Each structure stands twice: as structure tokens, then as C-alpha cells.
Amino acid sequence: MDHSLTQAAGRLTPAVLAGFAAQLRREERAAGTIENYLRAARQFAGFLAGAPPTIEAALGWKAALLASHRAPATVNAKLASLNRLYGFLGLGCRVSFVRVQRRIFRPAQRQLSQQEYGRLLAAAQKKGDARLGLLMETICSAGIRVSELRFITAEAARLGRAEIHLKGKIRVILLPGRLCRKLLRYARAQKIASGPLFVTRGGAPMGRRLIWRQMKALCKAARVQPSKVFPHNLRHLFATSFYKACRDLVRLADVLGHSSLETTRLYLTSSGEEHLRLLEGLRLVC
């Protein structure tokens, strides 16, 4: 970091934030991660209101976040961004995360079922949006992140596998044969001979916000709560379905591209209804 950026005024200036963004890109962070880090950094700059970034200021922002009754996971995500920013600035201090007991079940309003997934696909088909329907099937059947969609190319569909380059790692994912056939039919219809299949009219890979917005537009017709409909929830549905089929956590972690099994465990939390059925089945109330 060029410390002249902060030493000149001791402030989080636009130049400092631009430098932070450039550093994240050099580290090959995913586009969504960069967007989240910068959003938190700008919010922190707004909280500072021109004051210098100090450990006291960081602790003050943490207190303000907690006082705003945000979810602990949201607060921790912002604090992770803050710690990364302070590391970039060379300030040598970290704010501790909010300690949360690992949740053993997912809230019902976040749990997407296979039946609801099917209704979303049917709604996309009825709407005449073949691209969106196939995009959702691709994320859900391959278990990929939305940022990895750009690696689903015409070449990958022909080979039956895609090579993912992300977060400084390379992994190969296999694509189901039925999905490959649908992808190739789509490629022919769109006259895409090579490169990414899910692109905008201008030929650029579809972004996270566009996909999120288009999926949300299906909620009413599909009779699915909007809180359940977002791209990453399709990856969660893949994870739970895959684990039910093989009961192999290590294998699932490899497929998802996780470095930590603890991360994979978060994908396998059951719904509150399933947890309640388990408790009722214990028959410990006379």
C-alpha cells in the first residue's frame, strides 16, 4: 500500500478505496466478494464522516452495527471487510467477530425445496425465458457458484466438464449428460459456437445482479417466497441433494470447491420443520 494515500490526510478518501479495490483484484478475489468488501468499506467511510480510521473507530462501527439489530452473520461479513481494509492500510489491528453458535437448522423462509425449484423452472418456461430456466438448472445440477457461470462454455458442454479458475484455485466439475445436451441445443439456437453460454445481448457474461433480479421476478408466478429465491440457494439445494445421495461430506466439499469441511457443513443444515420432526420422534414428552 502507498501510505502517502492515508498519511496525507489520515482519511479514507476515494483514492484509498480505489487502491483497496485494485488490491482485491490483484488477489483475484471474486467479483461478488470485491463488491461486498467495497460496499462495507464505503459504509465505514460514511460512518467515519471524515475522521481517521483507528481501532477506536472500528470498534465504534461494530457497536453501531450491533445496535442496528442486523443479523450476526451480516455484522461479521462487514467486520471481515473492515479487517481486510485495515490490513491493506497497514494499520495492524483487527476487530473480533461476533460469536455465534453454529445454527443446526435453516429458517423455513430460506429453505428452497425441490418442489419449489420445479415451480421456478416451470415459471421461467411459461414466461418464455429459456435462458433463465437453463441457467438455474445449470447452477443447481452442477452445484456451481453464480460467479462460476462464465466457465460454462460451449466447449465445456461438448466435453461434459468445465474447468473452474477462481480464488487462485483450479478445479474440474463434471456436467450431467442431460444438462450438456440441453446446453448444446441452447448454444445452437443462440448461434454460440464457443465461449460462455449465459451472456447478455452485448455478449458479456451475465452478472450476479441481473440473475438475482430475473429470478426474483419469477416468485409470484411460481408461488415461492422471495426470501428463498436467489442464485446461491440453488447451490444449497444441490449440496443437500448430493449429500442425501452419497452421505460423503469430504466428497461434497471437493465438488463444491471448499477448503474447509466446516464451510460444507453449513450447507447441510436441515429445515426447522425437519428438526422439529426429529425432536417429536424422540417421544420424550409423556
DSSP structure string for 185-228: HHHHHHT--SSBSSB-TTSPBPPHHHHHHHHHTTHHHHT--GGG
State yes or no: pLDDT of 41 exceeds 70.
yes
Distances (CA, A) of 113 to 213, 233, 240: 20, 10, 10
Burial class for 168, CB neighbours closer than 10 Å (0-12, 13-18, 19+): exposed
Mean pLDDT over residues 95-112, rounded? 77
Query: Of 147, 144, 122, whose CA–CA distance to 133 is shortest?
Result: 122
Distance CA 285, CA 203 (A): 61
Give the CB-side neighbour count of residue 203, counting CA atoms within 13 A: 5
The H or E element that residue 60 is part of is: helix 55-67
Model pLDDT, residue 283: 78
Tell me the pLDDT band of 259, cut-offs 50, 70 and 90.
Answer: confident
Query: Of 104, 81, 71, whose CA–CA distance to 32 is shortest?
Result: 81
Mean pLDDT over residues 133-147, rounded? 96
5-21 per-position pLDDT tens digit:
343 346 899 999 999 99
Query: Is the separation of the CB atoms in 182 and 137 below 8 Å?
Result: yes
- Burial letters 213-243, b for 16+ CB under 10 A, else e: ebbebbbeebebeeebbbbebbbbbbbbebb
Tell me, what amino acid is at 206? M
Tell me the pLDDT band of 151, cut-offs 50, 70 and 90.
Answer: very high
State yes or no: pLDDT of 54 exceeds 70.
yes
State yes or no: pLDDT of 286 exceeds 80.
no
For Cα atoms 207, 81, 86, give the angle at the middle one, nearest 5 degrees: 135
Give the CB-side neighbour count of residue 72, counting CA atoms within 13 A: 8
State yes or no: pLDDT of 81 exceeds 90.
yes
Mean pLDDT over residues 167-182, rounded? 90
Tell me the pLDDT band of 224, cut-offs 50, 70 and 90.
Answer: very high
Query: Is the separation of the CB atoms in 257 and 164 below 8 Å?
Result: yes
State yes or no: pLDDT of 244 exceeds 50.
yes
Of all residues in the chain, what percent carry a pLDDT higher than 70?
A: 91
Query: Is the separation of the CB atoms in 186 and 131 below 8 Å?
Result: yes
Would you tell me how many other CB atoms lie within 10 Å of the CB of residue 139?
A: 25
Model pLDDT, residue 101: 64
Mean pLDDT over residues 141-145, rounded? 94
Model pLDDT, residue 130: 95
Cα R_g (the chain), whole angstroms: 22
Mean pLDDT over residues 226-240, rounded? 94
Tell me the pLDDT band of 105, cut-offs 50, 70 and 90.
Answer: low
Phi then psi dihedrals of residue 132, to 5 deg: -65, -40
Tell me the pLDDT band of 3, cut-offs 50, 70 and 90.
Answer: very low
Query: Is the separation of the CB atoms in 117 and 140 below 8 Å?
Result: yes
Model pLDDT, residue 109: 79
Tell me, what amino acid is at 244? K
